[in-house]
Structure 1
Amino acid sequence: MLARFRTACDQIKARIEVLAALLDIPDGPDPQEFHASVRVKNLAESARFYAWLLDTWPKEWTHRYVTFICPDLGVNFVIVVADDKTLHHDTLYHLGIELADKDAVIEAYDKALAFGAHVEKPPRSTWRGTPLHELWLKDPDGTLIEVYARMKDEDFAARPKDYSPVFLVEGTENFKPETHPSETAQSPLDPKSVAMVSLASAIAASHPSMGRCQRERLLKQGVSEDALDLILDIAQHIRDEAGQNPTEDTNAVVKKLTEGDTCGCTPTPKGNACC
């Protein structure tokens, strides 16, 4: 019953957090189209599948991409070759929205800064491929978001001879994006595993109080009493074995960890293996 109550509390808390995040949202851009670009392993097979799924013939295709336009859905969907990338999190290349014109892209940049969104590339006019006025953002998970407007004929006529991008906001020519939170080093261990390690370490080191708080934390995270008993039993056994060799220094312990065929530890009195 207590576990169900904790689960319900966590679920309610998560819903409240979503509601809180949606309150007082400032004005955003005025999207006219939703755009997604997805990397695929086999361009031809994926083109056949999405032509069937979307019930439409591609608007255009090359050896690198296939574009589907669905006006009734307001969707501009593109599949792109994988470029030798392993397709896991790299499968989704980017999402995007189309705006009315160049001024709307610049306005979206100002709104993105005011909102605190991560700007990957400031507004630019680009001429290669599909000529666009574009702004690149990243969502909280690091997914690229393209905010763009299709270029008018008069804009395209004013392109530089070398087709180099033209920055639309003065002072952004040397723009360098800040490191996105998704790109910072993350602990390879999840919080639950870290708490388990801390608990075992506290017991093995005979810490007077830390074990209790870690135990409570693990219970709140859904770790069972049986699992905690196993951790405690092994940690106590390791502590007792270590007490039998009080003069062995840390270097000797590390050497044993990296050399030899077996660790030499014994099961706990309850029969639990320590490794």
Structure 2
Amino acid sequence: MKRMHIHVGVKDLAESIRFYSALFGAEPAKLKPDYAKWMLEDPRLNFAISTRAKTLGLDHMGLQVEDAAELDGLRAQMSAANIATHADGETTCCYARSEKSWVEDPNGIAWEAYHTMEDAQIFSAAEAVPAPACCGAKPGAAA
């Protein structure tokens, strides 16, 4: 079953955590010094905020799946729609180890399709280099 994912860049993490916790009626499921994530069931949503996004506001959206087979099906749907995709393969970002692919919609909004395998203690595999949220889409790259 797919879960909608939205990642928003924020300037003040603590203020944003207070706002979204009140809005959702729940505390974050994951909390780091630069990142917070809510895993909501109603609506079925993975909502994340961070101070690492390239811009304030909507950074990207995506669909999180529960297993590799479901990710393969989602990738096939992207290909069938003639969407140029970029596959990161297995990567660490947003404090999780995941298998990811990226597309951009006609308006330039980045979408990721991913399956999370486990939590990670670092934000991204490239910790030494400042990275956009979730390692960012690679526009125009095909996989």
| Residues 1:137 and 2:103 aligned together | yes
Tell me, in whole angstroms, the C-alpha distance in 2 between the residues paired with 1:57 and 1:72: 14
1:149 aligned to 2:115? yes
Amino acid at match of 1:118: A
- TM-score, with normalisation over the residues of structure 2? 0.74
Which whole-Å CA distance do the structure 2 matches of 1:86 and 1:131 have between them?
24
Change (3 A) 1:177 1:41: closer
CA distance in 1, matches of 2:55, 2:64: 29
Instruction: Output the CA distance in 2 between the equivalents of 1:94 and 1:48.
Output: 22
Which amino acid in 2 is paired with 1:115? A
Counterpart amino acid of residue 125 in structure 1: E
Q: Please state whether the residue corresponding to 1:178 is helix, strand or coil.
A: coil
Query: RMSD in angstroms over aligned alpha carbons?
Result: 2.7
Q: Conserved in 2, the CA contact under 8 Å of 1:35 and 1:75? A: yes
Equivalent position of 1:73 in the other structure: 43
Name the SS of the counterpart of 1:127 in structure 2.
Answer: strand
Mapping of residues 178-217 of structure 1, within 5 Å:
178=140
Matched with 1:108 is 74
Stretches of structure 2 that go unaligned for 5 or more consecutive residues are 127-137
Preserved contact between residue 11 and residue 51 of structure 2 (Cα < 8 Å) = yes
The one of the two structures with greater contact order (alpha-carbon pairs below 8 A, sep at least 6) is: 2
Q: 1:63 aligns with which of 33, 38, 44?
A: 33
Give the Cα separation in 1 of the matches to 2:52 and 2:88.
26
Q: Indicate if the aligned counterparts of 2:104 and 2:139 stay in contact, CA closer than 8 A.
A: no
Structure 1: any 5+ residue segments left out of the alignment?
1-30, 157-162, 165-175, 180-275
Partners in 2 of 1:46 and 1:145 — Cα distance?
A: 23
1:118–1:139 contact (8 Å) kept in structure 2: no
The answer on 1:95 being equivalent to 2:65 is no
Report what 1:122 is aligned to.
87
**How far apart, in 1, do the equivalents of 2:55 and 2:46 lie?**
24
Q: Verify the 8 A CA contact 1:125 1:131 in the aligned structure 2.
A: yes
More strand by percentage: 2
Q: How many residues are treated as equivalent by the alignment? A: 125
After superposing on structure 2, the runs of 4+ consecutive aligned residues of structure 1 that deviate more than 6 Å are none
Larger Rg computed on CA atoms? 1
Distance (whole Å) between structure 1 residues aligned to residue 63 and residue 7 of structure 2: 11
**What is the aligned-residue identity percentage?**
29
Q: Which amino acid aligns with 1:67?
A: K
